[in-house]
Amino acid sequence: MHTSDELTSATSGESAVPSFHFATAGNRFPFEAWRSLLIVLFDSFLPDKSPSGGFEASLIVHHFGTFLLCRSVVDGGRYRRTPARLAHDDIDHIVISCLLRGAVTLAPPAARRLCPGDVAVLDLSAPMAFAMKAAETMHLILPRTLLPSAVAPVQPIPGRILTKDAAMGIILRTFLEALCGAARSLSAGELLALGASVPDLLASSLGPGAAVTPRDARGNLSRRLRRHIEENLHRRDLSPAGLTRELGVSRSQLYRQFGTEGGVETYIRRRRLRRCLLILCDPRHADRRIADIAYEMGFADEAHFSRLFRRAFGLSPRAARTAARLGEGPGVGEGLGLGTLLPPPGGASFARWLTGLGSS
């Protein structure tokens, strides 16, 4: 019997991608177990008409470091994120979902019945409600800050539907299917390379969203701060004083936002090092000098950068690049810095994976 606290590994072969599988099969209270698993995201309700054979659902989740890739099969149910729930959680992710079979009906304001093959782009910081019936779906979940502000601005974006016949819908559906297949055999180096490049590919496929008004652009303070930092990691003058001046916040407001992160300067340094790791492991940047990457990310001294990098990831920048280029397997995953991007082995939890996504 599986419950939301008893998740079993679904990783096969020698893949470096952490994965787990949840299923209600054999559970005495299957819908309650399913509801407990999804409580981090949704309030869940039984289908209006329960299936004759009892409720069944399953979920496979793959952790790619910068995003989660999920595949769900569910008899049905109704799900929602209300304004009251949004006021009490810190989920600020974009979800790209593709319906493979069955039916999904979105409630207003994005009222729409999805057909198999359609792709929905949804914002978890916005209220939503939908119903599912005999549905199999793929979902890619990534933090808002990994997408440019033109695609995912600080304020909640309305849901978008890319039909199964639309060019970008075809591209995204095919890409999600390819990722699901590749998750079973990716090496550590390939995993890091995908983590670096997938957000860019998604941004290109999705294109700009709705225009942002000056009032909307203010958005939530936490989102504004993290978005501003993410887009300005290259600036040498990115500092607490600059943030207070440019975003019009007080020092006390600023430090409250990053109190659990060890302070704003620690947060900025960690984000810079993480960005450097992804660039070093990205084959598109294989010919760039390590010193240039460090300087571009705001580090004034290459030797100091190398010391910080080794302290954070356990090996030198050059060794990280070499290991990624050779596509070394999961045995060197920790040495590749995956320990800071991926969850530790054991104790898999959908809630911890989701809330920790992109926070390192």
Q: pLDDT band for 207, please (50, 70, 90 cuts).
A: confident
- Give yes or no for residue 110 having a pLDDT over 80: no
- Give yes or no for residue 219 having a pLDDT over 80: no
**Residue 111, φ and ψ in degrees, nearest 5:** -55, 120
- Give yes or no for residue 210 having a pLDDT over 70: no
Tell me the pTM. Answer: 0.79
**Residue 183, φ and ψ in degrees, nearest 5:** -60, -25
Nearby residues of 138 by Cβ (< 8 Å), 6 or more positions away: 69, 70, 71, 97, 98, 100, 176, 177, 180
- Give the residue from 48, 23, 124 showing the smallest Cα distance to 80: 124
d(CA 347, CA 353): 10
d(CA 26, CA 2): 7
Q: Which amino acid is at 228?
A: H
Q: What is the pLDDT of residue 92?
A: 86
For the chain, the average pLDDT equals 83
Q: What is the pLDDT of residue 157?
A: 80
- Give yes or no for residue 292 having a pLDDT over 70: yes
Cβ contact 312:270 at 8 Å: yes
Q: What is the pLDDT of residue 213?
A: 47
The encoded tokens of residue 137 equal 């779906």
At how many degrees (to 10) do helices 264-280 and 188-206 cross?
100
Please name the residue that has the structure tokens 């957000």.
199
- Give the residue from 22, 23, 20, 1 showing the smallest Cα distance to 9: 20
- Give yes or no for residue 13 having a pLDDT over 70: no
The encoded tokens of residue 145 equal 């800050």
**Residue 49, φ and ψ in degrees, nearest 5:** -125, 110
User: What is the average per-residue pLDDT within 181-196?
Assistant: 83
User: What is the average per-residue pLDDT within 28-53?
Assistant: 85
**Residue 283, φ and ψ in degrees, nearest 5:** -60, -20
User: What is the average per-residue pLDDT within 46-71?
Assistant: 85
**Greater pLDDT, 40 or 110:** 40
The encoded tokens of residue 359 equal 């926070």
- Give the residue from 267, 251, 119, 143 showing the smallest Cα distance to 195: 143
**Residue 157, φ and ψ in degrees, nearest 5:** -105, 145
User: What is the average per-residue pLDDT within 117-136?
Assistant: 93
